[in-house]
Structure 1
Amino acid sequence: MGRPSGAFERNTVVHIVPIDTPTLGDRSYLVHDGQEAFVVDPQRDIDRVLALAADAGVRITHVFETHLHNDYITGGFALAEATGAAYHVNAADLVTFARVPVSDGDVIAIGDRMRVTVLATPGHTFTHLSYALSADDREIAVFTGGSLLYGSVGRPDLLGPDHTHELVRLQYASAHRLADDLPETAGVYPTHGFGSFCSATQSGATAATLATEKATNPALIQAEQEFVDDILAGLDAWPAYYAHMATANSEGPAAPDLSEPEEADATQLRRRIADGEWVVDLRNRVAFAAGHVAGTLNFGLDGSFATYLGWLIPWGTPVTLLGETPEQVAQAQRELVRIGIDRPAAQATGSPADWAGEQPLASHPRATFAELRQVHHHRPVVVLDVRRSLEWKSAHLPDATHIPLHELPSRLAEVPDGEVWVHCAAGYRASIAASLLAAAGRQVVHIDDDFANAGPDTVH
């Protein structure tokens, strides 16, 4: 769930505990001095934070938001309500709940030894804040939210194209403000950048100081125009559910209801599928291809489950979850509440035979790129590439049809007639696409292979 950072403990009494949410590519932070604690950018499922605080024997007195997040529903309001903590949100943010408004330059004392200084760092949003932490009058860390990330910055285009060019330059200036105003020894603690689509680019780093960022981060080593050009050229699509997050966060989201959904039998599952609801099989793609209930969709828990389900589903469509165990359903529920899909319509556990009742199971073959090359010598097939546009532009098969996965539900009619061999970069997205196509009545083959094996004939 989280682990204490070891970077500063020898010199201070402050513990910085990251709380990872790898399926969304985000981190929250619990920071404490052994008695009092504050939290930065908590996720919706605040029981994780409360458990860490209880284990450490500390009292949460303050909660800080760096911005109104675009990629998840915040737990900040609910955590403040549960603990009585002061909830710090930018005074310029238009919210409908009571908060402690903060602005650039404000200093908040936490306990006897910790001080948090508010820093305006616009760029990811116009009202984005960072928080510099000092202990015993020594600046030791900065919580940068979606501003300065490890080897990157937060993307500047989430507020729409009318603002992107202004925000990308603000992002550059904010990164330099942090680098210029704080000591190089200060640790950098971003919220995004661990796979989140809120990151402009991705880095494999999991820890950094301002010194390491000043030596490696393009925002701090490139000239401004070069940085702007590179960032804008690297932007691609972002999940559709982002459009709902900031609005929900401005209303003060309540703690989620993670109680077990109602049980659905085989008859109810068939009815839900027939009614156009989404019945989602949580098993891995190998098990799904081998046998599943016809009309179900495969979003495996072994990948970016919530990101892709939230991206593709028509917002508000009822969701039923199918898992082998109650634990799988509970995990899926937890991931979905983080993006505002609060209550599954129903759930069922067991095996596909249990879910299908007396009906036969559906299945489809899996294949490799080598097998695709062999098939091409004998008969024509449709090759469907569901990777994003930048991936396609980098390299693709010359005879492939390109429809990015997030566009596929609305563009199914554009898939050419015939047997469809569908691929992505590594297999996860292709399984989602194969299930969508099969549910629409198409004959599919899931290419469950790494695109690096596509062969020498790819177009670059």
Structure 2
Amino acid sequence: MFFVDILEFEGLGNRSYLSGGPRSAVVIDPPRDIDQVIAAAARRGVRIAFVAETHVHNDYVTGGLELARVTGARYLVPAAAHVSFARTPVADGDTVTVDEGLVLRALATPGHTPHHTSYVLTEDGRGVAAFTGGSLLIGTVGRPDLVEPRLTEQLARAQHASAHRLADELDDEVPVLPTHGFGSFCSSSPAEGDATTIGQERATNDALVLDVDTFVAQILAGLDDVPAYYTHMGPANAAGPAPVDLTPPGRADAEEIASRLAAGEWVVDLRSSMAFAEGHVAGSFNFEGEGKLATYLAWLIPWGKPVTLLADTPEQITDAQRELTRVGIDRPAAAATGDPGTWVRAGEQLASFLRARFADLADARERGDDVVVLDVRRDSERAGGFIDGSVHIPIHELHGRIGEVPAGTVWVHCAAGMRAAIAASLLDAAGRDVVAIDDGFDAATEAGLILTRPDGTD
């Protein structure tokens, strides 16, 4: 009897899988921090016989090479992928026996990358699971624009063909188990739900419902911004990532924190946006540990810039350190926990700023206050409507464009509050008077604020 265990990584919107039988198993698209994969195998009492990559990943650093080295597993990597390390190259139709009666078959599914490969697990010759990586996702497909702009349309067409190949070769009841699509920016559009089958996708997925030309036009029109750190992930994975060091970073006192800030390093406060607004080290940035920490910190930070982490507890530092290694931010320069008052030197005060709702913004405008409304959502979000008179700078561009924000008190908002909190911390660190709007964007109209669209309609 086979099993499939899901390893979920909500911060990046990805999954890895441990699958096999009573004695041995295969790991699909493992994370950088392999200890949890090894622990999952130990709980099952199975040997990791194979580690399989669906593609050279663009959104996170893989742990596949190190996991194969530590466990002695064969490392299966698509033959067409250009990598600098020894591996077992797999081509379309290749098979390996995972356990008695369990065979893993490689299925070429180009589109997300030119070499993308899905894997079908069969039990006694019957397909029982499809590990689709960045090919067929839940209700969508992996985006085709991460490799080379000139290949984007070609890869979009390949995605359509690959989705049809999976649907044609597999029975309706076969579970579709993708790596991306749970909030990952590798997904070409937002995915809904957390489980699906070939039959469900056959009935609802645009790649399987629309003709190729309509599908390609739609997918190309819907592509959004690519996180900046993606440019570093592919090369790191192709070169062969080094093992991670998850030992605790050195403890920073107030003098060291001040020194690191003065040197232009990043000091990142992992506490809640509410706690940060109430009191924080001046010049520090707020990336909540409970939010999409790795995605947004890696997206915004100048690559290679040292990071000092601040948090309520050592456990929060540990969790953040683990998550950041998945995107190549390997070692915090230092860390501090506990009372924020101890993070500043004697005689210095913590900084603070206000938080508000859209109703408060409406009141401020009604009073005639000197208000600058800053929208930090992505272009695609703003296209659906924006507050009349607002300034637009997407969050991932703000750090380099703060000088473009008009004078006055900046009321900053996003769609739900998380990105607004990051943006408010960036503005506060730059010396601006700021109010962070912690509210859902739907509340803007409820508060009486006028929404317009890029075409001027409302």
Q: CA deviation at 1:224?
A: 1.1
CA contact (8 A) 1:289 1:364 kept: yes
Residue 276 of structure 1 pairs with residue 269 of structure 2: no
Q: 1:146 aligns with which of 134, 159, 167?
A: 134
CA contact (8 A) 1:46 1:255 kept: no
CA distance in 2, matches of 1:178, 1:65: 18
CA distance in 1, matches of 2:187, 2:124: 33
Q: CA deviation at 1:94?
A: 1.2
3-state DSSP class of the match of 1:153? coil
Corresponding letter in the other structure for 2:229: Y
CA distance in 1, matches of 2:248, 2:405: 38
CA RMSD of aligned residues (A): 0.8
CA distance in 2, matches of 1:194, 1:214: 19
Q: CA deviation at 1:136?
A: 1.2
Per the alignment, residue 429 of structure 2 pairs with: 439
CA distance in 1, matches of 2:133, 2:176: 10
Residue 459 of structure 1 pairs with residue 449 of structure 2: no
CA distance in 2, matches of 1:211, 1:427: 37
Corresponding letter in the other structure for 1:301: G
Per the alignment, residue 8 of structure 1 pairs with: none
Corresponding letter in the other structure for 1:373: A
3-state DSSP class of the match of 2:239? coil
CA contact (8 A) 2:249 2:334 kept: yes
Q: 1:193 aligns with which of 175, 181, 193?
A: 181
Q: CA deviation at 1:119?
A: 0.8
3-state DSSP class of the match of 1:454? helix
CA offsets per residue over residues 337-385 of structure 1, 9 Å max, x none?
Answer: 0000001111111121011132101000001101101101222211000
CA distance in 2, matches of 1:452, 1:238: 26
| TM-score scaled by length of structure 1 | 0.96
Corresponding letter in the other structure for 1:317: K
CA distance in 1, matches of 2:439, 2:199: 40
Q: 1:407 aligns with which of 379, 390, 397?
A: 397
Corresponding letter in the other structure for 1:52: A
Residue 129 of structure 1 pairs with residue 117 of structure 2: yes
Per the alignment, residue 388 of structure 1 pairs with: 378
Identity %: 56
CA contact (8 A) 2:409 2:435 kept: yes
Q: CA deviation at 1:254?
A: 2.5
| TM-score scaled by length of structure 2 | 0.97
- Note the 1:299-310 alignment, pairs <5 A: 299-310=287-298
Residue 44 of structure 1 pairs with residue 32 of structure 2: yes
Per the alignment, residue 6 of structure 1 pairs with: none
CA distance in 1, matches of 2:5, 2:90: 24
CA distance in 1, matches of 2:274, 2:290: 11
Per the alignment, residue 222 of structure 2 pairs with: 234
Q: 1:344 aligns with which of 332, 338, 362?
A: 332
Residue 367 of structure 1 pairs with residue 356 of structure 2: yes
CA distance in 1, matches of 2:304, 2:242: 18
Gaps of 5+ in 2: 454-458
Gaps of 5+ in 1: 1-12
CA offsets per residue over residues 53-109 of structure 1, 9 Å max, x none?
Answer: 111110000000000011100010010011000000011111111100110111111
Corresponding letter in the other structure for 1:151: G
CA distance in 1, matches of 2:68, 2:226: 30
3-state DSSP class of the match of 1:383? strand
CA contact (8 A) 2:122 2:129 kept: yes
CA distance in 1, matches of 2:339, 2:101: 55
Residue 110 of structure 1 pairs with residue 103 of structure 2: no
3-state DSSP class of the match of 1:87? strand
CA offsets per residue over residues 226-262 of structure 1, 9 Å max, x none?
Answer: 1111111111102110100010001121221000011
CA distance in 2, matches of 1:173, 1:81: 35
Q: CA deviation at 1:160?
A: 3.3
3-state DSSP class of the match of 1:61? strand
Per the alignment, residue 456 of structure 2 pairs with: none
Residue 265 of structure 1 pairs with residue 253 of structure 2: yes
CA contact (8 A) 1:285 1:300 kept: yes
Residue 100 of structure 1 pairs with residue 88 of structure 2: yes
- Once the two structures are overlaid, the 10-residue window that deviates more, 161-170 or 326-335, is 161-170
Per the alignment, residue 411 of structure 2 pairs with: 421
CA offsets per residue over residues 194-237 of structure 1, 9 Å max, x none?
Answer: 00000011122211110111011111011111111111111110
CA offsets per residue over residues 274-314 of structure 1, 9 Å max, x none?
Answer: 11100000001000001001000000012101100000000
Residue 87 of structure 1 pairs with residue 75 of structure 2: yes
